[in-house]
């Protein structure tokens, strides 16, 4: 693994990302703005499912309003994260917190898709399982953001 990462690090693409000093901070800025939109949307959806916040409205409407933005933000997150990782492959791919973050992301995406289906079908009252999923979703996104920040602090 580390040989591959060293090769990637030495590759022209990775080198030019690092050498152009603005690319890494620029993609990290996009990354933070995108997680703001994704986490904001997910939190609003989750809190509406839980029924503990905001003016009640059909969940299908909430879902329809936020789903396109959350998908676009996820796309921007993956793309900006990929550029960042190619620029610093050892610090990212060689980092166990990064892989923990990816595992949590996979679970969060699956959960969001399931919850999205329940919201689209818009059954009222929403099932107990959906509520548990909504609560879990909030915790997962918080954990993902924590992991994201800690990649920088845990040595590869």
Rule CB under 8 A: choose which of 5, 9, 41, 49 binds another protein.
41
We find the least distance from the C-beta atom of residue 62 to another protein, in angstroms, to be 10
How far, in Å, CA of 64 to CA of 68, rounded? 7
Contact string 63-92 vs another protein (x = CB under 8 A): --x---x-----------------------
Q: Is 145 in the site for another protein (CB under 8 A)?
A: yes
Q: Rounded to an integer, what is the distance from CA 143 to the centroid of its chain?
A: 10
Q: Contacts with another protein in 14-33 (CB under 8 A)?
A: 21, 24-26, 28-29, 32-33
Q: Is 51 in the site for another protein (CB under 8 A)?
A: no
We find the least distance from the C-beta atom of residue 36 to another protein, in angstroms, to be 4
Q: How many CA atoms lie within 13 A of 125 on its CB side?
A: 6
Q: Is 54 in the site for another protein (CB under 8 A)?
A: yes
Residue of 49, 67, 69 whose CA lies nearest to 58: 49
Residue 113, both tokens: 């898709």
For residue 94, the 8-state DSSP code is: T
């Amino acid at each position: 693994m580390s040989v591959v990462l060293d090769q990637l690090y030495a590759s022209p693409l990775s080198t030019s990302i690092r050498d152009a000093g603005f690319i890494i901070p620029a993609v990290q800025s996009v990354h933070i703005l995108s997680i703001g939109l994704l986490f904001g949307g997910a939190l609003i959806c989750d809190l509406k499912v839980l029924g503990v916040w905001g003016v009640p409205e059909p969940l299908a409407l909430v879902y329809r309003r936020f789903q396109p933005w959350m998908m676009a933000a996820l796309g921007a997150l993956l793309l900006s994260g990929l550029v960042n990782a190619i620029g610093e492959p050892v610090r990212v791919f060689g980092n166990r917190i990064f892989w923990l973050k990816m595992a949590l992301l996979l679970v969060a995406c699956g959960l969001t898709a399931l919850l999205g289906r329940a919201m689209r079908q818009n059954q009222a009252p929403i099932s107990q399982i959906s509520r548990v999923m909504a609560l879990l979703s909030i915790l997962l996104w918080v954990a993902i953001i924590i992991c994201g920040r800690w990649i920088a602090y845990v040595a590869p």
